[in-house]
Structure 1
Amino acid sequence: MLKKKKPVEQEPEVTVADKKQENDVLFEQLTNKNKEYMVKLNRKLEEAGFPEDNKILVFNEMLKNIVTEQPNHITARRLYGTATDQASHLTDSGQGEVTKPVERSETWKIYLDGALLLGGMFAVITGLSYVFGDQEAGLGLITMILNFLLGGLAVMVITKYAPQPGVKGGFLKYIVATTVTMLIWILLMAFGTQLLPAVLNPVIPGPYTLAIGVIAFGAKWYFKKKLNIQGTLI
Structure 2
Amino acid sequence: MPKKKDTVEQEPEVTLEDKKRENDALFDQLTNKNREYMMTLNRKLDDAGFPEDNKTLVFNEMLKNIVSQQANHLTARKLYGTATDQARYLTESDHADMTGPVERSESWKIYLDGALLLGGMFAVITGISYLVGNQEAGLGLITMILNFLLGGLAVMVITKYAPQPGVKGGFIKYIVATTITMITWIVLMAFGTAMLPQALNPMIPGSITLVIGVVAFAAKWYLKKKLNIQGTLI
Superposed pair shares fold, TM > 0.5:
yes
Q: Secondary structure at the match of 1:166?
A: coil
Cα displacement (A) at 1:102: 3.1
Q: Secondary structure at the match of 1:200?
A: coil
Task: Name the structure 2 match of 1:154.
Answer: 154
Counterpart residue type for residue 196 of structure 1: L
Task: Name the structure 2 match of 1:233.
Answer: 233
Q: Secondary structure at the match of 2:204?
A: coil
Q: Does 1:166 align with 2:163?
A: no
Counterpart residue type for residue 190 of structure 2: A
Counterpart residue type for residue 149 of structure 2: L
Task: Name the structure 2 match of 1:190.
Answer: 190
Cα displacement (A) at 1:164: 1.9
Distance, in Å, in 1 between the alignment partners of 2:228 and 2:218 is 15
5+ residue gaps, structure 1, are 1-50, 55-85, 91-96
Counterpart residue type for residue 221 of structure 1: W
Q: Does 1:111 align with 2:111?
A: yes
5+ residue gaps, structure 2, are 1-10, 15-64, 70-96
Q: Secondary structure at the match of 2:232?
A: coil
Cα displacement (A) at 1:165: 2.7
Counterpart residue type for residue 212 of structure 1: I
Superposed CA offset, 1:95-152 (max 9, x none): xx99624301111000000000000000000000000111111100000000000000
Counterpart residue type for residue 233 of structure 1: L
Distance, in Å, in 1 between the alignment partners of 2:212 and 2:101 is 36
Task: Name the structure 2 match of 1:134.
Answer: 134
Task: Name the structure 1 match of 2:3.
Answer: none
Distance, in Å, in 2 between the alignment partners of 1:127 and 1:221 is 20
Task: Name the structure 2 match of 1:78.
Answer: none
Using the size of structure 2 for normalisation, the TM-score is 0.58
Alpha-carbon spacing, 1:102–1:131, altered in 2? closer, same or farther (3 Å):
same
Counterpart residue type for residue 144 of structure 2: M
Superposed CA offset, 1:63-108 (max 9, x none): xxxxxxxxxxxxxxxxxxxxxxx8x959xxxxxx996243011110
Alpha-carbon spacing, 1:116–1:98, altered in 2? closer, same or farther (3 Å):
closer
Counterpart residue type for residue 119 of structure 1: G
Distance, in Å, in 1 between the alignment partners of 2:231 and 2:118 is 16
Distance, in Å, in 1 between the alignment partners of 2:181 and 2:139 is 21
What CA RMSD, in Å, does the superposition of the two structures yield over aligned residues?
Answer: 2.6
Q: Secondary structure at the match of 1:158?
A: helix
Q: Does 1:202 align with 2:199?
A: no
**Identity in percent:** 79
Distance, in Å, in 1 between the alignment partners of 2:107 and 2:224 is 13
Using the size of structure 1 for normalisation, the TM-score is 0.58
Distance, in Å, in 2 between the alignment partners of 1:173 and 1:104 is 18
Counterpart residue type for residue 114 of structure 2: G
Cα displacement (A) at 1:163: 1.1
Cα displacement (A) at 1:167: 1.9
Cα displacement (A) at 1:199: 0.3
After the TM superposition, which residues 82-97 of structure 1 pair with which residues of structure 2 at under 5 Å, given as runs? 89=68
Q: Which runs of 4+ in 1 moved over 4 A?
A: none
